[in-house]
């Protein structure tokens, strides 16, 4: 399977013929026929194109979350900002685990530094909120 483009939209090529080709929209799964001459083959792999059906914030969360504790941290941050001191005390995280996990989430654009009750803390970014909401079924 290959990735093709037509009028700026990406599709997965299902079947090519000389006149028309059957393509699948990776976001909806809908298949349709388009003129073969109007299709451009892209370098993107078909699996990367299929992954585009998942919203970008959620893909970032999946790539940045290495275990259940990290995922739980994002869920807790969805309830509001948390001071660094509370991360370590309330959630039984050592400083290096907390810092490492938060650093990965900051690099992914899911978490930002903030001030909580006069102390350094962390909160979800808009992208982080969108991703966590998609996971827990809140819109």
Closest to 71 measured CA to CA, from 15, 18, 131:
131
Q: Out of 2.60.40, 3.40.1710, 2.30.30, 1.10.10, which CATH number does the structure's domain 2-51 have?
A: 2.30.30
Per domain, the residue ranges of the chain are 2-51, 56-136
State CA 38 to chain mean position distance. Answer: 31
The pLDDT tens digits of the residues spanning 110-133 come to 999 999 999 999 999 999 999 999
What contacts 24+ positions apart, CB below 8 Å, involve 92-99? 93/69, 97/69
pLDDT over 80 at 23, yes or no: yes
State CA 8 to chain mean position distance. Answer: 22
Note the pLDDT of residue 138.
61
What confidence tier does 107 reach under pLDDT thresholds 50, 70, 90?
Answer: very high
Closest to 35 measured CA to CA, from 53, 13, 19, 12:
19
In the CATH scheme, what is the code of domain 56-136? 1.10.10.10
Note the pLDDT of residue 44.
79
Q: Name which of 1-10, 91-100, 102-111, 128-137 the model is least confident about.
A: 91-100
Q: pLDDT over 70 for what percent of the chain? A: 99
Note the pLDDT of residue 34.
96
Note the pLDDT of residue 65.
93
Note the pLDDT of residue 39.
94
State the angle between helix axes of 126-136 and 68-77 in degrees (0 to 180), rounded to the nearest 10.
Answer: 110
């Amino acid at each position: 399977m290959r990735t093709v483009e037509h009028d700026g939209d990406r599709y997965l090529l299902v079947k090519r013929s000389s006149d028309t080709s059957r393509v699948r929209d990776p976001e909806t799964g809908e298949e349709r026929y388009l003129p073969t001459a109007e299709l451009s083959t892209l370098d993107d792999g078909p699996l990367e194109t299929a992954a585009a059906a998942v919203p970008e914030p959620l893909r970032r969360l999946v790539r940045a979350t290495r275990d259940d504790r990290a995922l739980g941290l994002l869920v807790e941050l969805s309830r509001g900002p948390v001071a660094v001191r509370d991360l370590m005390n309330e959630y039984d995280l050592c400083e290096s685990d907390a810092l490492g996990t938060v650093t990965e989430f900051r690099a992914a654009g899911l978490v930002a530094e903030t001030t909580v009750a006069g102390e350094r803390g962390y909160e979800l970014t808009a992208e982080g909120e969108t991703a966590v909401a998609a996971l827990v079924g809140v819109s």
